[in-house]
Structure 1
Amino acid sequence: MRLSWRKTIAPLLIAGLVGAFALGEQLGAFADFNAATGDILMRWHVRDRTPPADIVLIDIDQASLDDPQMLDLAGNWPWPRQVHAELLRFIAPQKPAAIAFDLIFSEPDVFRPASDKMLSEAIGETRALLPMVVAADGEATPLRNLPPIMEVRAGPDAVPNAGLPLIAPKAIDPAAWRTGLINFLPDDDRVGRRYWINFPHEGWTLPSLPRRVAEAAGWSVPERDAIALHWYGKPFRHLSYRELYLESQKEHPRLPDLKDKIVLIGAAAPGLHDLRPTPLGASFSGPEILATAIANLSDDDWLRPAPVSWNLALGAIGMLVIALAFARRPNPLPIAAMLGLISLAVLLWAFQLLGKNIQWTPFSPLLATWLSFATVATGSYLRERRQRDHAVQMFARFLDPNVVRSLTMDGQLAKAETGSGQEITVLFSDIRGFTTLSESRTPEEVVTLLNRYFDLQVAAVFEQGGTLDKFIGDAIMAFWNAPVATPDHAERAVRAALGMSRALEGFKHELGEFGEHFDIGIGIHTGPAVVGFLGSSKRLDYTAIGDTVNLASRIEGQTKGVARILVSEATKNACGNVFDFIDHGEVTVKGRSQAVRLFEPRERP
């Protein structure tokens, strides 16, 4: 049983692709691809997105490290912790909503313990928040032993002896450990797109620094492990650590406007290596990432990922639409144009959703749909190519190669293969005097001469765009107006007959004395007939059948002793005034009760 590509194979292939896509989505096989392509959409979306004005970053920038005055007062990095204490006491009177360090004071200063003590006291006074990191390895600290001020919470299923290797601010008095985690949270491709809110471990929860800042500022905090960051294309407000600290050393300093602001103090100098890969760049400042998470919480505009079902639905619908489109309209160009418009609309909608804090990355279903299109289009093309090549091979036996190419380019071959009734003009040509010629030649010479004769006659048919039906012994049958529509088919048939007559004169000259008795008779009739491929599955011929064909053959038989070319009255009338015609009267032909009027065409001078 032969399977239909469009009705059977293509739908089965699409069904398989839909199943593979759905399984891949469920298993997260497209996560990295969606994330990377989503980054492109994100960068486009956030170009003009401005962060909140109430978040201020105090940067330990390169200028702060290199400034001569800072070198005189604080020395080389790392500075004595007294410097940070002095800065804290300088900005605290401005009543910021919260102050947080993005610096880990993990080791006590054994040479300047008084300096550490001053910072501990300043942190206690200002209630500044400190960062902490869960390390990749090291000695685990029992979570139940951490100070209550760290707000590490035990859930109902908490493991009593659970521990984590922590990098804590050991230079600061534990009584001032208002800490929050600042662990970088990379995706599988090592790019950071999320930030911890609550770090879970064996039933325990460690708060992140953005959560501690939000609670200090009085904001609501989502009860989830992490949030997807909604980035900003415009910069946060930045102040140089150097400028503030040197101002604090003056007798009459200018106080910065930090009232109700969130103040983050962190390392921004490239040499301090606090850089991470994010959707906005491969080397993004750690304090900027922290500030983004805090800003998202302040405005509650962190990104909510779209449900996985959206991608599943889009992919399944897209691939099914492809299957239906090819089933109804196999031309791939309109389908590709439609698919392009749909893809653009989906991307624009995903872009609009970012403004509503919904992150939808529809790239895997779009890719799956385009791959389905490419697969089905390729299969359809190969199938059409095979059909076309088959049809070309078949029609090349009957038509001038130029006509076959025209049919191919116009996409009419499939239509031409189907049998149909239409008006055509049929020409029959038969040899006179062939017996005399064959008696004087060897069989090989006769075949050579006949082939030469047929070449000349067929050339005349093809020159006028005719279809060569068949050779019947030494006779030729041809017709016009199929498979190529030819409005002047009667005129072309007559011109072909006149051309065959002229070619015959040249051929007779080649035969010499044997050409004296060599002649042809040509009969032409115009009328309805059924045209198409007829025969068995193993042998097909493109031919015409019907009374029109029979009458054209009978007319050819009436040429003996009358004229080399005779046409019916129907053909004469179809030619109009193009030729001169000699009326040879009416004749009765075999198989017809009604007489047929015959005419001999002549070229007009």
Structure 2
Amino acid sequence: MKRLRAVPRWFARRFGYARAICLLLLLGFAGLRVADPALVQELRVRTFDNFQVLSPRVKTVRPVTIVDIDEKSLADPKLGQWPWPRTRIAEIIDRLTRLGAVVIAFDVVFAEPDRLNPALAAETFPNLDEATRDKLRTLPSNDQVLAEALQRSRVVLGESGGPEARADLDRTLPKTGIATRGQDAERFMWNFPGLLRNVSVIEHAAAGRGLFTIKPERDGIIRRVPMIMLAQGDIMPSLSFEMLRVATGSDTILIETDKSGIIRLRLGRVQIPTDTHGQLWLHYAER
């Protein structure tokens, strides 16, 4: 016991009391950062919020346009209630492409066949004569019409990570190329056991696929968005990051890591710094 008590005194005499106190504080703060208790996490995000208020992002360009399916659209009798037929979604894609959209992305999942597909209408609509039913059966499905519109443009489809694995997951889809420099990246990523995808004919026509699933902070505020994730065993980019990949024409996403986690993501010469889980801290602008 006496020997243990003598250690701090020896340490102080050897390095000086001021240096000893600074070193002990440094070790203490390092241990606190590694443990990262809830109090430290809360202090970190609140500090981040204050920086957002003190120095909001200055908007210089507006490269993104959001086409919102809002209440006014749903109330329009010409458009009708949601979900709209896939033929109308195809018309929107064609129009946006003609207007010069570089990339189009959807943050919805078309997980089931269109309920207004002509073949389905032929079997379910009452009071149709047989000639009309036969004609409906020969028409292309609304999903096929949407797939053809996707092929005429550059469209990234949204997918959603889920809590349960799906046995019907289509493994034949093209995958975004992923390369890693450094440590194994998968153990640092957010991992979703399941993955909800779009119907197969639409998925195969898309230029890319990305997750729009996010993990808010404990208070519900979104401060970080994961750029790369695991979903049912596959490494997948976020919807926004996949849009950037398609827009730049890059084939492969490079993940750079070290022992502490993910450092940054690269698309050719473009590099995006992230936190250790592959998340991007958002810099909000004022309205």
TM-score relative to the length of structure 2: 0.62
Whose helix proportion is higher, 1 or 2? 1
Aligned pairs for 1:40-119 within 5 A: 40-46=50-56, 49-50=58-59, 52-67=61-76, 71=77, 73-112=78-117, 114-119=141-146
Q: Retained in 2: the 8 A contact 1:140–1:164?
A: no
State the one-letter code of the partner of 1:27.
Answer: A
Say which SS state the counterpart of residue 224 (structure 2) adopts: strand
| Alpha-carbon distance, 1:13 to partner | 9.6
Aligned pairs for 1:52-201 within 5 A: 52-67=61-76, 71=77, 73-112=78-117, 114-139=141-166, 145-148=171-174, 150-151=175-176, 153=178, 164-170=193-199, 172-177=201-206, 178-200=208-230
Q: Retained in 1: the 8 A contact 2:163–2:192?
A: no
Q: C-alpha separation between the residues in 2 aligned to 1:60 and 1:163?
A: 28
Q: Quick one: which of 235, 238, 263 aligns to 1:208?
A: 238
Q: Retained in 1: the 8 A contact 2:161–2:192?
A: no
Query: Cα deviations across residues 150-195 of structure 1 (Å, max 9, x unaligned)?
Result: 4264879799xx9952111117433214211111133455432222
| Alpha-carbon distance, 1:74 to partner | 2.5
| Alpha-carbon distance, 1:223 to partner | 7.7
Aligned pairs for 1:525-564 within 5 A: none
State the one-letter code of the partner of 1:130.
Answer: L
Aligned pairs for 1:360-509 within 5 A: none
**Quick one: structure 1 residues 187 and 116, their matched pair in 2 at CA, closer, same or farther if it must change by over 3 Å?**
same
| Alpha-carbon distance, 1:232 to partner | 1.9
Say which SS state the counterpart of residue 42 (structure 1) adopts: helix
Q: C-alpha separation between the residues in 2 aligned to 1:34 and 1:147?
A: 40
Residue of structure 1 in register with 2:15 after alignment: none
Q: C-alpha separation between the residues in 1 aligned to 2:242 and 2:83?
A: 26
Matched, 1:222 2:272: yes
- Greater RCO structure (CA 8 Å; 6+ sep): 2
Q: C-alpha separation between the residues in 2 aligned to 1:202 and 1:86?
A: 33
Q: C-alpha separation between the residues in 2 aligned to 1:23 and 1:140?
A: 43
**Quick one: structure 1 residues 214 and 195, their matched pair in 2 at CA, closer, same or farther if it must change by over 3 Å?**
same
Say which SS state the counterpart of residue 66 (structure 2) adopts: strand
| Alpha-carbon distance, 1:136 to partner | 1.8
Q: C-alpha separation between the residues in 2 aligned to 1:167 and 1:214?
A: 22
Query: Cα deviations across residues 259-287 of structure 1 (Å, max 9, x unaligned)?
Result: xxxxxxxxxxxxxxxxxxxxxxxxxxxxx
Q: Retained in 1: the 8 A contact 2:195–2:232?
A: no
| Alpha-carbon distance, 1:19 to partner | 5.4
**Quick one: structure 1 residues 62 and 51, their matched pair in 2 at CA, closer, same or farther if it must change by over 3 Å?**
farther
| Alpha-carbon distance, 1:83 to partner | 1.3
**Quick one: structure 1 residues 199 and 142, their matched pair in 2 at CA, closer, same or farther if it must change by over 3 Å?**
same
Provide the aligned C-alpha RMSD in A.
3.6
State the one-letter code of the partner of 1:43.
Answer: V
Q: Retained in 1: the 8 A contact 2:194–2:232?
A: no
State the one-letter code of the partner of 2:43.
Answer: F
Say which SS state the counterpart of residue 186 (structure 1) adopts: coil
Q: Retained in 2: the 8 A contact 1:142–1:163?
A: no
Query: Cα deviations across residues 465-495 of structure 1 (Å, max 9, x unaligned)?
Result: xxxxxxxxxxxxxxxxxxxxxxxxxxxxxxx
Unaligned runs of 5+ in 2: 1-17, 119-140, 249-266
Number of aligned residues: 216
Say which SS state the counterpart of residue 86 (structure 1) adopts: helix
State the one-letter code of the partner of 1:179.
Answer: R
Q: C-alpha separation between the residues in 1 aligned to 2:234 and 2:47?
A: 35
**Quick one: structure 1 residues 141 and 77, their matched pair in 2 at CA, closer, same or farther if it must change by over 3 Å?**
closer
Q: C-alpha separation between the residues in 2 aligned to 1:181 and 1:76?
A: 26
| Alpha-carbon distance, 1:20 to partner | 4.5
Q: Retained in 2: the 8 A contact 1:185–1:193?
A: no
**Quick one: structure 1 residues 13 and 53, their matched pair in 2 at CA, closer, same or farther if it must change by over 3 Å?**
closer
State the one-letter code of the partner of 1:222.
Answer: I
Between the aligned residues of both structures, percent identity stands at 25
Say which SS state the counterpart of residue 206 (structure 1) adopts: strand
Q: C-alpha separation between the residues in 2 aligned to 1:203 and 1:85?
A: 31
**Quick one: structure 1 residues 64 and 201, their matched pair in 2 at CA, closer, same or farther if it must change by over 3 Å?**
closer
